[in-house]
Homo-oligomer: A and B are copies of this chain.
């Protein structure tokens, strides 16, 4: 009798904490069978968050562990993250967590092996195993997750590229405008400042493109505001269209460097902001074509694009939605074995 294999995945966000059980059918197929969602009690410190997380994990382990074989616990966290140690390094979305060893804290509490990764790397892993990576049959890809920030994950030859310290794939902070806006990261003109929902909101405010007063904007989340700007753009508002034009331009510049440097077969744009694909993608592709001769030499024709030709460079919208991060966390334990 063979036991079914399952894993537990955790998606630790600055606001919500989600813990899921995932059942694998095949190496590239499976499903989330249960998701537990909790608030992240950041203000109460990392140990409280670790307690909450562990209680939810243990609940799922108790439920499924009797009849099924655990592949492991995968944990996604906002970066930067130092690997293989599993130590958080001053994560902007988790104040008070600097130098906290999350991997160790959870392993001690749940008594099971924990594998940890940055959330953007896990979104890329999920997209690689279950999304566009599977559709295109590639061994490598680079993903940009456009959310409140711009996350980045790179898969090379079937594995997450962690680099020397676990900090590979932070292209959201590559410079796209050397004299641009100041970034909380300490630099200026980072991709994230323009290609994120936060960036769209700021640029819209700067352009006063919205038909509502500033106080109202201030009270809303960046993602909601980005949606308003997208609606205005779709309705033909020229200032809102200009904002997404800027999003496309900086993405083209950023992708150009990634294509020149890595020459991968697949670049994937995901995250909540990718819903505005039609508004920024044409400008993005035009800018990419100008910025990267490697792209021009390897760009697919329309037919090669449809045929997903393996020797061409494809730039596509992510296939997985907002569950990419937690799916990646669930897949992670299976990648180790």
Contact = CB atoms under 8 A, between A and B. Distances in A.
A63 to B, nearest CB: 38
Q: Please report whether the interface of chain A is mostly helix, strand, loop or mixed according to DSSP.
A: loop
- How big is the A interface, by class? 35 or more
B154 A261 contact: yes
A161 B173 CA distance: 23
A186 B296 contact: yes
A222 to B, nearest CB: 21
A162 interface: yes
Contacts of A310: 164
A160 to B, nearest CB: 12
B260 A174 contact: yes
B263 A168 contact: yes
Nearest to A171: B261
B163 A262 contact: yes
A49 interface: no
A272 B170 CA distance: 31
Contact of A293 (B173, B175, B256): B173
Contact of A164 (B89, B166, B171, B313): B313
A40 to B, nearest CB: 23
B187 A262 contact: no
A166 B177 CA distance: 29
Interface string A98-124: 000000000000000000000000000
Interface in A51-100: 80, 82, 89-90
A82 B174 CA distance: 27
A224 interface: no
A256 B298 contact: no
A297 B167 contact: yes
A230 to B, nearest CB: 24
B264 A175 contact: no
B261 A261 contact: yes
A129 B178 CA distance: 35
Interface string A306-323: 000011010000000000
Q: Of A169, A256, A258, A263, which is in contact with the most chain B CB atoms at under 10 Å from its CB?
A: A263
Contacts of A156: 156, 161
Contact of A257 (B163, B165, B188, B257): B257
A185 interface: yes
Contacts of A335: none
B291 A164 contact: no
A253 interface: yes
Contacts of A168: 261-263
Nearest to A163: B263
Contacts of A82: 297
Given A89-B297, A140-B164, A173-B293, 15 more contacts: A163-B263, A164-B263, A164-B298, A164-B313, A165-B263, A165-B294, A165-B298, A165-B311, A166-B263, A171-B261, A173-B292, A174-B260, A178-B178, A187-B292, A261-B261
11 contacts: A80-B294, A163-B262, A163-B263, A164-B298, A167-B297, A169-B263, A170-B261, A175-B256, A177-B178, A187-B290, A257-B257
